[in-house]
Amino acid sequence: MEMRLGYSDSAGPEKVKFWPVYLCFLIFGIIAPFSKPEFNLTTLLLSLFVSLLVGALMVNLLIMLFNAGNSDLRQASSQFAREAVSTGMLFMIPFAILAILAQFILGWNAVMPFASAAIMTTAATAGTEVMKKGAPGIKNVLIPTTLAFVLSTGWMMLIGILP
Amino acid sequence: MNTMAPTAVPRWKTALNMIINPGEVVKNQMTKFPWPYSLMISGLSFSLFFLQTGLDLMRTGQIEIASVILMTLLGLIYGTAGIALLAVLVWALSQAAERNITMEWTVSSFALGYSPTFVYALTGLIFSLAFGWRTAVAFWVTGLLWALRPTLFTIKQMSGERVGFSIAMTTLCGAILLSGWALLGKFGL
User: How does DSSP assign A142-160, residue by residue?
Assistant: HHHHHHHHHHHHHHHHHHH
CA A75, B162, B17, B149 torsion: positive or negative? Answer: positive
Which chain A residue lies closest to B169 (C-alpha atoms)? A94
The Cα–Cα gap between A121 and A137 comes to 18
pTM, full prediction:
0.85
More confident residue, A79 or A14: A79
The Cα–Cα gap between B91 and B94 comes to 5
The answer to whether A97 faces chain B, any CB pair under 8 Å, is yes
DSSP per residue, B153-169: HHHHHHTTS-HHHHHHH
Name the pLDDT band for A11 (thresholds 50, 70, 90).
Answer: very low
ipTM, 2 decimals? 0.83
Q: pLDDT (tens digit, 0 to 9) for every residue of chain B, 189 residues total?
A: 444 555 677 888 888 888 888 888 888 888 778 889 999 999 999 999 889 888 888 888 888 889 889 989 989 999 999 999 999 999 999 888 888 889 999 999 999 999 999 999 999 889 888 888 877 777 888 888 999 999 999 999 999 888 899 999 999 999 998 888 788 766 555
Q: Do B145 and A110 touch (CB under 8 A)?
A: no
pLDDT of residue B7: 62
pLDDT of residue B6: 52
CA B153, A140, A94, B71 torsion: positive or negative? Answer: positive
pLDDT of residue A94: 94
Instruction: Please count the other Cβ atoms lying within 10 Å of the Cβ belonging to residue A35.
Output: 16
Domain boundaries, chain A: 17-161
Side-chain half-sphere exposure of B38, counting CA atoms within 13 A: 27
The single-letter code of the amino acid at B49 is: F
pLDDT of residue B185: 66
Q: Which residues of A touch B178 (CB under 8 A)?
A: 98, 101-102, 106
Q: Do B142 and A113 touch (CB under 8 A)?
A: yes
Is pLDDT above 50 for A1? no
How big, in percent rounded to 5, are the helix, strand and coil portions of chain A? 75, 0, 25
The answer to whether A96 faces chain B, any CB pair under 8 Å, is no
